[in-house]
Each structure stands twice: as C-alpha cells, then as structure tokens.
Structure 1
C-alpha cells in the first residue's frame, strides 16, 4: 500500500493577480472564479493578439490539441451549441451562461458534447478541441464575456497577459471536486499531463500521459469517505495486452497504474465502492 494514500493534506492559497482592480459594482463581485478550460494538470499556451476578433479573446495552443477534452471554466447553463459551416467563424462552438451577465465561449471544437439547456458543473466536459470554422490550425478559442463584451481573461485569479504567449497549467477541478487533498498529477508523478477524466459521482477516474516516456497512468481519486479506508480501484489495459489493476481499501486513491502505450489505444477505468466504469479503447497514438 502506498503510504501517501493514508495521509491527509490541508491548506489553501489565495491568488491575487497584480494590477487587477476590484470594483464595487455588482458585475465585478459576481465574476466567477474562471478556470482554464481543460482538465486538471493540462498545460497549453494562452495566446493573445492585438486585433484579435473579438478583442480580449484567448487562443489556447498546443501541439496535438485536437481531440483534447474541453471543460467548463465555471458552472452554468448551456445557451448555445452551434455547428456552423466549414470556413465560417467559430465552426463548432459552445456558450455557457454563468449568471450575473457572465458567459464563456469555446470555439473551433472537433466535437460538441452538450446541448442547449444542459446544466454543467465546473470542470465538466463540453466537447473536444479541434480546428473547425475559420482557423489556420487547431486550437481552442476562449472568451470570458460580461453583458456581451469580451473581457480580458482571468484564470483562477491570475490575469492572462496581453499581448503575449504565456504558458498556463489548468487547476480546473483538481482533486476530483470532492475535497480529495491529492491531485492526479501528484499520484502519477512528474512529467504526466491529464488527457481525460470520468466522474463517478463519488470520485473521478483520471487518465494521464507522459510524452517523454510514452507511458499512460490511471488513478481513481475518491470523493467520499476521505481519510477512511474503503474500496477503490484503477485499471489500465493497452490494446493487445492484459489488464493492469490496483484494487483495495484505500483512504484517498487507487493507483498509480502505468503502462507503455505510445502509438497504441488504451482502455482505462476504475471504481469507488460499487460504482464502476471502464472506457472503450481510446486515445490511440
């Protein structure tokens, strides 16, 4: 048993971006704590341009971004889910209303995964990144809009620099959203980036990849009975290979389960208590 699973962790940090002014207006006070629109641990370049349309929007860029899971920056209600013709503006895109006049937009998606009227939670998958619409290459176009006007983006309390190309790492729903003191990055270790996540309701199964070693890693983070040993498991199977599994009574998580999977499809899954989920073969190559 990994001793880390039996230990707790406490602490909080308040990130305040330099140069930001907190206004007394209702709109400013209602601004959600917007997160980077990707899974916890995912790193990409936030590119901002003079003359970008609309002004103050952000293009998230990264090699191989096509097919990467796009997540809700904050909770809300889906107000637009569009599939515009090839070569037209946003292509496939989603808009989410967060209340208080605030809305976010996610454009050039390869896949839309939610419909108008759906209620989404922070970190929930909205679709997959791509290159639909009027683009020169794959990226995610992102906007934080207040009463219809695109604002300079703030991610987890940190202002995105204008005009620049700045690396950001997502803190969106880290810890599985259930108060778990551990993140998938801590469990799998240095060099791994989260590429997918499945919520069990009572925890989250996280799939990570290390581009340097070509290895995948799976961990299941509990969201219930934290600090108390209870049934949890994590599984990983590389196509053509056998299932690798870590299963037992653990206080915080199962795993890490790792395997070399460069240029191969993987099947990943896990369980918390009696709730179990396993993917089809996916993330090939």
Structure 2
C-alpha cells in the first residue's frame, strides 16, 4: 500500500489546502468591502447620481455613508451627510480624490436622511430605513 497510501495522503493534503484557502477568502472578503468604503456593516442602499454615488451601510443601530465619484483620482469638491430624524446631520465636505466620508450616526430605530454631492451634482434620499 506504499504508492496508494502516498497518493491518498497527497490528495488529502491538497483538499485541506484548497478548503483552507477558500475559508480565508470568505473571511477576507467582507473586510475588503469595508476597506473600499470605510463603513462597517452591510450595504443597504446605493444612491446614484450623474457624477457619483452614495453607499449606505447599516450595522446595528448605526448608519454610515460614503460618497464615491464615478471617476476617482482627481481632487474635486465632494460631500456626504447622514441625519437621523430629530438630530443634526453629520457632514464630511471638502476636496477629495477618492471619497467623502465615511460619516456615521446613531439612528436607533429612527429614519435617516442621506445626502451626497460630487462637483456640484447631488443626490438626496428623503427619509429612509424607517
């Protein structure tokens, strides 16, 4: 059983390596998504407009948003804001090359209003996530 046993061990080792790699990729993928936007939690909305989009994430009772331009790399005026109903908006505004934000608010069970802008074009959600 010398050669047959060696083949079996090699196959088991290869199978273990493949499963380990797949498991590592599954664990790393959510972190890459968070790194791209800077927001923790699950993506719940994407609000698109002519020059970009606002990506909205929710984690527990917190809501986070980021404005991303359609063509990143050049600094331009951008902003993002999130406002829980009854509260003040949390805003990030300035000249950015890749994104405005992330901004996070504690919303509890309240609705939120999300706004974003890139180069003078903008989007406004109205009350969402109620």
* Same topology, TM > 0.5: yes
Q: Secondary structure at the match of 1:185?
A: helix
Q: Is 2:42 the partner of 1:196?
A: no
The corresponding residue for 2:112 is 266
1:219 aligned to 2:69? no
Which aligned pairs between 1:77-116 and structure 2 lie closer than 5 A? none
Specify the SS of the correspondent of 1:280.
strand
> What number of residue pairs does the alignment pair up?
100
The separation in 2 between residues aligned to 1:189 and 1:278, in whole angstroms, is 19
- Structure 1 position 281, deviation (Å): 1.0
Unaligned runs of 5+ in 2: 1-25
Cα displacement (A) at 1:184: 6.3
Greater gyration radius: 2
Report 1:1-285 matches (<5 A).
185-186=34-35, 187-190=37-40, 192-211=41-60, 214-224=61-71, 226-284=72-130
* C-alpha deviation, 1:282, in angstroms: 1.3
Task: Give the 4+ runs in structure 1 shifted more than 6 A.
Answer: none
Rounded to whole Å, the distance in 1 between the matches of 2:115 and 2:39 is 19
The RMSD of aligned alpha carbons is 1.9
The alignment partner of 2:129 has SS state of coil
Which structure has more relative contact order (CA 8 Å, sep 6+)? It is 2
Q: Aligned pair in 2 of structure 1 residues 237, 184: CA closer, same or farther (>3 Å)? A: farther
Tell me the alpha carbon deviations over residues 134-179 of structure 1, each in whole angstroms, 9 at most, x when there is no partner.
xxxxxxxxxxxxxxxxxxxxxxxxxxxxxxxxxx9xx9xxxxxxxx
TM-score (structure 1 length as normaliser): 0.33
Check whether the contact 1:205–1:220 (CA below 8 A) recurs between aligned residues. yes
Q: Distance in 2 between matches of 1:208 and 1:229?
A: 24
1:184/1:217 Cα in 2 relative to 1: closer, same or farther (>3 Å)?
A: farther
Structure (1 or 2) with the greater helix fraction: 2
**Structure 1 unmatched runs, 5+:** 1-167, 172-182
> Normalized against structure 2, the TM-score is what?
0.70
